[in-house]
Amino acid sequence: MTALKNDRFLRALLKQPVDVTPIWMMRQAGRYLPEYRATRAKAGDFVSLMKNPELACEVTIQPLDRYPQLDAAILFSDILTIPDAMGQGLYFETGEGPRFKKVVSSLADIEALPVPDPEKDLGYVMDAVRTIRRELGGRVPLIGFSGSPWTLATYMVEGGSSKDFRKTKAMLYDHPQALHALLDKLAQSVTAYLNGQILAGAQAVQIFDSWGGALSAAAYQEFSLAYMKKIVDGLIREHDGRRVPVILFTKGGGLWLESLADTGAEALGLDWTCDIGSARARVGAKVALQGNMDPAVLYAKPAAIRAEVARILAAYGAGSGHVFNLGHGITPEVDPAHAGAFFEAVHELSAQYHQ
């Protein structure tokens, strides 16, 4: 494989010295970019775009061409590829988000689910990873990702997005053995899927636990964290002569950082409700931290964006182990110039913390 020209993202995840704080952004290939919207229109719809490796590569690289400050690319895909490959029938309803043609509601449904083979059943994702790695030519590292078992389970049981997760939580309390069977199958699937991405060329991986924060403390440990730990234990951690760092991101998980840091992951993603300085004091000797600006700050003027970047950098303080990011994905209505101001501010203002 081509040598990496910019490895500061991987170095920061391993808490090695860097010249400036590296930055990438969740959903950096997305609807806020006119070039993304043009490619998506060419593909016809989101699922067709995601399942076309050449077009997925095109939109993955678009933000890097526009913003030379970005220190990583993230595979363009969706967290719901695994349930789709299990036969749930993913589709997107305009204005409604993702939906599934089939829902999981019983132990019999769960036992009938296959564990997808990454190359056979999710080959379009592996092809996208290989295509992106080739086209990047070592510019920056490529991040692969998956949803967490708990988060994937909520979509499979609810049949789509949910505000209260009533069906999944009813299963959790009424039929915990059924939910554990589903989560175990999903953990096996995610492990195989992420290992497939690593073998295809992903140089770091992130597990998105988007809905872990909806659980009670006890339920989080048993039904979300335990399965993420299982995945971390099963991942390929060295490939192409380099460590492959793992980032765990539980939105709303600030209460449980110590437990997250004990999983063996290299880094924890933080949402914007968490103070990064406090988080570093709690777990920073064990893991790197990623985050954590409120995505809504990008609606403000560049001077305000810059001030918030300065505040977060100062809260983290000197030294490596910080990857700057938003506390969740960028939203479609953001002005692309504001994203550019954000990236410029991070590199410019962080240099003083890496003397």
Consult the annotation and say whether 69 binds a ligand.
no
Cα(247)–Cα(266) distance, integer angstroms: 6
Position of tokens 């964290």?
225
Exactly one of 8, 11, 40, 133 is catalytic; which is it? Answer: 40
In whole angstroms, give the CA distance from residue 34 to residue 37.
5
The reply, when asked if residue 31 is annotated as ligand binding, is: yes
| Residue 113 CA, distance from chain mean position | 24
Q: Which one is catalytic: 32, 36, 67, 155?
A: 155
* Catalytic pick among 8, 27, 139, 306: 27
Q: Please tell me which residue in 78, 84, 209, 271 is annotated as part of the active site.
A: 78
Burial of 230 (0-12, 13-18, 19+ CB in 10 A): middle
Specify whether 353 is catalytic.
Answer: no
| Catalytic residue status for 155 | yes
| 311 labeled binding residue | no
* 328 annotated to a ligand binding site: yes
Q: Is 316 a catalytic residue?
A: no
Measured distance CA(168)–CA(184) in Å, rounded = 15
210 is in an annotated binding site: yes
Strands (E), 90-225: 90-93, 97-100, 142-147, 204-209
Q: Which two tokens stand for residue 262?
A: 């004990």
Distance between CA atoms of residues 327 and 165, nearest Å: 22
User: Alpha-carbon distance 260 to 270, whole Å?
Assistant: 11
Tell me: is residue 254 an annotated ligand-binding position: no
Is 134 an annotated catalytic residue? no
Q: Which residues pair with 258 in a beta bridge?
A: none
Distance of CA 170 to the CA centre of its chain: 27
DSSP class of residue 224? I
Residue 40 a catalytic site member: yes
Q: Is 224 annotated for ligand binding?
A: no
Q: Which contiguous run of DSSP H or E holds residue 49?
A: helix 46-50
Residue numbers belonging to the annotated binding site for substrate: 27-31, 78, 155, 210, 328
Catalytically active residues, by annotation: 27, 31, 40, 78, 155
Residue numbers belonging to the annotated binding site: 27-31, 78, 155, 210, 328
